[in-house]
Every structure is written in structure tokens, then in C-alpha cells.
Amino acid sequence: MKVRFRFLSGSIGRLSIQAKLILTYIIVILIPTTIFSGYILDVNYQNSITSIITKNEYLLNMEKKNIQNHMEAMELTSQLALSDRDVLDYMLSNREFSAEELIKFNNYSYHNLQYIMSNNPNISNLRFFTGNEYAREIWPIIYNERRISGEVWAKEFYEQPEEVWWTIYSGPEELRSRVGAGSQDYLNFASLVREIKYPLEQHLALMQVNMRLDVLFSNIYSNLQEASTQLLAMDRNSRLYFNDTSVFYTKIPTKEIRNEFMLKSRGDEGDFQFTYGGVPYLCVYIGIDRLDSKLLSVVSLETSYNDMNKTRLSIGGATLLLVLILSLITYKLLSVILKRLHLLRDSMKKVRQGDFNVEIPQLGGDEVGELGNHIRQMLNKINELIAEAVIKQASSKEAELNSLKNQIDAHFLYNTLENLKMLAEIEGQLVISDTLTSLGSMLRYNLHWTTHYVRLYEEIQHIQNYIAVMNIRYGGRLQLQLDHHQPHRQQEILKMSLQPIVENALKYGMNAPGMRKRGLIISIHTYKQGDFMYIEIRDNGAGISAERLDHINSTLKWESGVQAVYTTNGNAARSGKESAFDASGGGIGLRNVHLRIQLHYGKTSGLWLESVEGEYTKIMIKIPYLILSGGLAE
């Protein structure tokens, strides 16, 4: 991906400005136009889908209303049939009816049942199934219950708790007068099944009111539906009922419709879209509660989709043609505008070849003219810099000679100190000889700065030399006490990080009252704790007031400018005579040492102060425990 992006960026980068501007123009026009037209087309398509959904919801509601009317007629038929007590008494009889009683029952009660059916020709059957052996079968209404013992719908009815139950089943339109008579053609029926409990809530019989599905679902089986739309019904067992003569199902099998419905339907009503064979379809569905079924309207969106694609192609073609025409016009206009820029390009080619005396013409007051003016000034500046470079080259030679002279001067200083030391030894001035030795070591340590890091013992040796030199001034009243383990001598430490602290202790500690008489003791103690080395530098000077001590430590914590003081007496803070840890100690102040430590070792390292006024001052340094001779110490 990165390689392709680099290749594309390189290809665009090699184009001329004119080509880039044309490309930018095309992108700026084409992309928003394409996005906008696509958005408008999608909105129109969604509006079309919404309109189709609304239309099919209306059709489904009308069909549902028609179905509910038929179901109410079936319920009314069942209620009228049960209202005749003579029919119930006939099925409850505990003896066989005489011929006279059968004729009377047939002329009155049975005739009423036939009349009920004749008043609603849409009802296919009204049947009673009784288990009473004394109630003779009277075809085609009264049957023995043995006839339905193997029927699926009867088994399902007995397995559910309701007394009134709706179902869809497949069976013969008329039952034969004899059990086991020849087979008949099976039709699909919507059936109202009601259990008759009479008397005292005892099972007496089953009553069944049937209506053919092509009557109940008249629009589903109609051939007057639109070619792109078909209605279907699905029962509780996910069986589909549809007009199998429609050519609609040659394009999409009903099995696929059932699978999509089972996968995407949610709730009793709604809609969803799916695709089969590259053709988009819309399914709108609604539930029929009592029948526990769903009405489906499946719409082929192929025509709507094709119309949208044609419109998209038309708009896309018109947009491309418009962009092409505008691009050609823009190209011609840019050729005129960029002519002066080409003049600048030719001039810069001459500059690249080494001609810095190119004359840049006046190109007007616009951006191109301003660019030409800047290029003209740049060429003048280049000529000036060339002249300066020649002068600087000569100055560089002189600087090299001065550097060599300085090196000679440093060696001269070391040699002179060595000669003075030898002279003092010859004259028996051993104190002067030792002092010159310490001073020479200090100069070498300060001037020989090849790395930021040294071993602890090297920094301590430098401090010892410093104390030896300063004892000449203070008459030997300075003491340096060392308390560190032998392995700690190899601890890594920043060069010149301890000497400024010792120098401050000497400078301000010796100024305390009586200190010049009893002498100043500076101790350096090291110890390891965890993964860190702690270096403690303590003096027996005047100490620091508590208020000033808190201020110094807070300032160090927030890395702001710090001025830490050694007081000369207990009232120094109040009298304004406190001195600060400024940049006097070897050019490096306390804050600088703290910041250097944190810069090199991280924020977990640094220094802080502890002090008791009039007794001592102690500076604690915390750095990682690192041994230069062996890496990270264990």
C-alpha cells in the first residue's frame, strides 16, 4: 500500500503545474458532483422504496380485512350451529333414534344446519365429529370421530389447550359416506375447530367450519396481481400458500422467500430487502393473529433498480462531458496565466548552470511578479554570501592559528607549574610543591573535558585537590572526611557535579561566626538503596532557616530558578543577609547541578537539602546505581 502511494505521489509530483491545476480542477468538480448526484439518486430510490412499502402495506391491510370478514362469518356459522339444542341432544343420545325420530330430526334440525351453510356460500363445510356410537352419521354434516383419528390437524388441536382453534390444513373437500372409501383430491382449507363440551363441560364432539384458501385468500390466488408483485401466506408451520401458476415464481423459488423471511423478519409486521440471482426484492409482511399466520407481499425491485442505474449513467455521462469541456477551457486560460511563470523557470535554469547575473524582468504586481522580485533579491543575496564566504575562509585560517596558539599556551601553563613545583622541592618548600601539584591536577581535570561522566573517585580526587589548594588560604582549617565503600568508587557520576556543592559549603560555611577558629568539616558519605546510589554532602556550618529550606526544596521540585542559602547567623533570614546558591561555584549553581542530573538520569533522580539552623547543612544526591567497570550493579 505504501509503495503504491509513493508511486502515485511521485507520478503526480512529476506533472507540470498546469497539469496539476487541471487535475485539481477535475477532482474538485467531479468528486462533489458525483457524491451529490449519488446522494440525490439514493434519496429518490429510498423514496421510491418507501412509496412501494406504503402501497403494499395498504394492500396487505385490505387483504387482512377481507380475511377477517371471512373468519367472522365462519365464527357466526359455528355459533348458529351450536345454538340448536336438538343437534347437541342427538349427539348426546344414549340410544338409537327410531325411523320416525330420524325423519323429524332431518326435517327440522338437520335442515337448519343446511340452511346455515346455504346462507354463506363461501363456507365449504360444517361438520360435527362425535364419538357417540348411537349417533348415526348423517352425511355431509355429522360424522363419527373415528374418521379424524389419523388427521394431523385433529392431533394438533388436542395437543393445544384452547377450545376454539384456527388452522390451515390440506384434505378432501367431502368425506366419503363410508370409512376407508376411495381417495379424493386434496385441497387447502382454513379451518375453525371448536370442542363441544355438553353437558357439564364433558367432551361431546368436535365442530369444524372450513373455507377453501382460494376463497379466504382470494387476492393471493388471483391472476390479476401485478407481474412484479405477488401475495403469499405463511402458516404457523412456515408453509407457504401462493398462486403457483404465476410466472413470478420462475424467477425466484418460494423456498428462497421462506428462508429470507425466517432469517430477516422481526415481529408481527415489517419489511426487509434481499437479493436473489442479482435481482433485489422487497418483502412487506403483516400478521393474522387468530390464524397464527403471516401475509407476505414480495415485490421485485428490478425495474426500479434498472431505472435508477439508467438515471445514474445519464447523470454521470453528462457530468463527465461537462467536466471535459470546462477542463479544455481551463487549460487554455492557464496557458496564458502561466506564461510568466515559465519565464521564471527558464531564468532559474540559467542560475543552476552557474550564471548568478541573470536579469529577472518585471512580471507585474501579482503573485508571479512578487515571486520574480523575491528571486531577484535572492540572487543579490547569493552574490553577497559568496563574497562573505571568501572572507570567512580567510578568517577560518586565522582562527586555526589562534587555536593552535591557545593549545601552546595551555601546555606552556602546565610546563610552568611543573617547573615551579620542581623549584619549590629544590628549595625545600614542600607545601608550595604540594599546592602546585593539586592546582595542576585541578586545571587538567577542568580543561580535559572529553565526556560528561566520570567515576566517583575521580570527582573526589578533584575535590581533594580543591581542598588542598584552599587550605593554603584557610591555614589548614578545612577537613574533608570520606565514608564510602570500595565498590562505590566506580559509581558513574556527572563530571563537576560535587565540586560546586563543596565550593558553596566552603564559601558560606566559613563565613559563619567562629568557624575560622574551629574549622569547617565537610563529609561525603555514600550508600546504596534499591537501584539507586545516594551521595550525602554534609558540613558543620551555620545551616539554613526552616522557611528558607522549604522554599529551596519546593523550587527545586518544580525546576524553577533556585537560590539556596547558607546563613551566617541565626537572624540572617530576618535581616536579609542570607546568601544564595548562585552560579558562583565553578560556574555551575545548585539548580544547574539538579537539572543536569535530571537531564541525564531522569526525573526520579536529583538533589534536595536537609538542614538545622546553627548546626549543619546536608545535600542529598540520588542517581541510578551504575558501575562503569561492570554496567548496572546488582
Show Cβ contacts of residue 456 under 8 Å, excluding neighbours closer than 6 positions: 484, 488, 489, 490, 491, 492, 493, 526, 535
| 165 SS3 class | strand
Task: Supply 258's cell numbers.
Answer: 421462506
Quick one: pLDDT at residue 210? 96
Residue 299: in which H helix or E strand, if any? strand 293-300
Q: Across-strand partners of 164?
A: 194
Spell out, as residue ranges, where the chain has pLDDT lower than 50.
178-181, 399, 401, 403-408, 560-588, 631, 633-634
Indicate the pTM of the whole model: 0.51
Q: Is the CB of residue 242 less than 8 Å from the CB of residue 293?
A: no
Cα 548 to Cα 553: distance, rounded to the nearest angstrom: 9
Q: Which of 26, 82, 340, 318 is nearest to 195 (CA)?
A: 82
Give dist(CA 361, CA 327) in Å, integer.
31
Q: Determine the pLDDT at residue 394.
A: 59
Q: CA-to-CA distance for 3 and 161, rounded, in angstroms?
A: 71
Residue 11 burial (10 A CB sphere; 0-12, 13-18, 19+): exposed
130 near 91, Cβ under 8 Å? yes
Residue 285's closest CA among 331, 242, 233?
233
Say what percent of the chain tops pLDDT 90: 35
pLDDT the model gives residue 124: 93
Name the helix (H) or strand (E) containing 460. Answer: helix 456-474
- Distance CA(577)–CA(565), nearest Å, equals 10
Q: Cβ(297)–Cβ(231) under 8 Å?
A: yes
CB contact at 8 A, 275 and 268: no
Q: Which three cell numbers stand for residue 92?
A: 348426546
Pairwise CA distance, residues 243 & 443, whole Å: 111
pLDDT at residue 183 in the model: 61
Residue type (1 letter), 634:
E
Q: Is the Cβ–Cβ distance between 243 and 222 less than 8 Å?
A: yes
Q: What is the spatial distance between Cα 294 and Cα 242, in angstroms, rounded to a whole number? A: 12
Rounded to 5 degrees, what are φ and ψ at 523? -115, 145
How far is residue 613's CA from residue 549's CA, in Å, rounded to a whole number? 10
Query: Percent helix, strand, coil in the chain (nearest 5)?
Result: 55, 20, 30
pLDDT digit string, tens, across residues 428-463: 777 777 777 777 777 777 766 677 888 999 899 889
| Cell representation of residue 136 | 348415526
pLDDT in tens, 574-598: 333 333 344 333 334 678 888 888 8
Scored b (16 or more CB within 10 A) or e, 115-143 reads: ebbeebeebbbbbbbbeeeebebbebbbb
In 105-178, DSSP assigns E strands to 125-130, 142-144, 164-172
Q: What span, in angstroms and rounded, lies between the C-alpha atoms of 562 and 593? A: 11
3-class DSSP state of 534: strand
> What nine digits make up the cell of 94?
344414549
